[in-house]
């Protein structure tokens, strides 16, 4: 029988935990500490400071999937739209066993800051599914992707939230996401 798992050469493996110092355990708190310092240095207006300390929306979805064995597993999916004041949110979707709400919120905030710093008309977002794609068949990975997309489809769109690949996702995963999105909204 052929190995139907995602090829390891198609997966990104960045050192995703390098942004935390040894004394920092929570990625969102670490990001907020840096934001607080930057806001202080910039003498950020108090109202804007309050707005930028909080994500606009964080969605957590349950993703029940029939595995190849016939067993049902329930995965957790997250999508955080941090800020859209500069334009539609943009940000990657990662599949990793260590994804957390705090990590996704921190990365969505960082995407917001990155877009603002280079003056492009996008806000920040990030998403993730708590799973290990290296142990999943292509069919299982497709089912997880499509169920996750169905769970967040109301936030997605070219004028609201533009997803992209990230850790352990690739063009195939994005094609499944786009196909599912198209089926739900009625266009490609």
Return the CATH number at 114.
3.40.50.10860
Flag whether 28 is in a domain. no
Say yes or no to pLDDT of 127 above 90.
yes
- Tell me what percent of the residues of the chain surpass a pLDDT of 90: 85
Q: Which residue has the tokens 């769109």?
A: 157
Flag whether 166 is in a domain. yes
pLDDT (average), residues 48-65: 97
pLDDT (average), residues 72-88: 98
Asked if 4 and 139 touch (Cβ cutoff 8 Å), the reply is yes
Say yes or no to pLDDT of 169 above 80.
yes
Give 117-164 as a DSSP string: HTT-S-EEEEEEEES-GGGSBHHHHHHHHHHHHHHHTTT-BTTTEEEE
- Residue 12 phi, psi (nearest 5): -85, 140
Q: Report pLDDT for 107.
A: 96
Lowest mean pLDDT among 24-28, 123-127, 149-153: 24-28
Say yes or no to pLDDT of 49 above 80.
yes
Flag whether 165 is in a domain. yes
Flag whether 29 is in a domain. no
Say yes or no to pLDDT of 150 above 50.
yes
Flag whether 121 is in a domain. yes
Whole-structure pTM value: 0.85
* Residues annotated as catalytic (active site), given as ranges: 126
Flag whether 15 is in a domain. no
- Comparing 17 with 41, the larger pLDDT belongs to 41
Say yes or no to pLDDT of 113 above 70.
yes
Flag whether 21 is in a domain. no
Determine the structural domain holding residue 151 and report its residue range.
Answer: 55-185
Q: Which of 131, 96, 134 is nearest to 15 (CA)?
A: 96
In the chain, the number of structural domains is 1
Flag whether 142 is in a domain. yes
Degrees to nearest 5, angle at CA 63 with 90 and 101: 50
pLDDT band, very low/low/confident/very high, at 59 (cuts 50, 70, 90): very high
Q: Report pLDDT for 187.
A: 74
């Amino acid at each position: 029988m052929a190995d139907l798992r995602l090829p390891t050469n198609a997966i990104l493996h960045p050192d995703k935990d390098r942004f935390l110092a040894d004394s920092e355990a929570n990625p969102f708190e670490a990001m907020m500490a840096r934001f607080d310092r930057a806001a202080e240095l910039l003498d950020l207006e108090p109202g804007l400071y309050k707005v930028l300390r909080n994500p606009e929306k964080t969605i957590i979805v349950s993703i029940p999937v029939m595995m190849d064995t016939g067993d049902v597993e329930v995965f957790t999916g997250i999508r955080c739209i941090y800020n859209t004041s500069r334009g539609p949110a943009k940000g990657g979707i990662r599949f990793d066993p260590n994804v957390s709400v705090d990590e996704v919120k921190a990365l969505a905030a960082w995407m917001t800051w990155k877009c603002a710093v280079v003056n492009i008309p996008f806000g920040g977002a990030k998403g993730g599914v708590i799973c290990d794609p290296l142990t999943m068949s292509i069919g299982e990975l497709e089912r997880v992707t499509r169920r996750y997309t169905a769970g967040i489809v109301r936030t997605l769109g070219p004028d609201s939230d533009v997803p992209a690949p990230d850790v352990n996702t690739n063009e195939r995963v994005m094609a499944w996401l786009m196909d599912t999105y198209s089926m739900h909204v009625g266009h490609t």
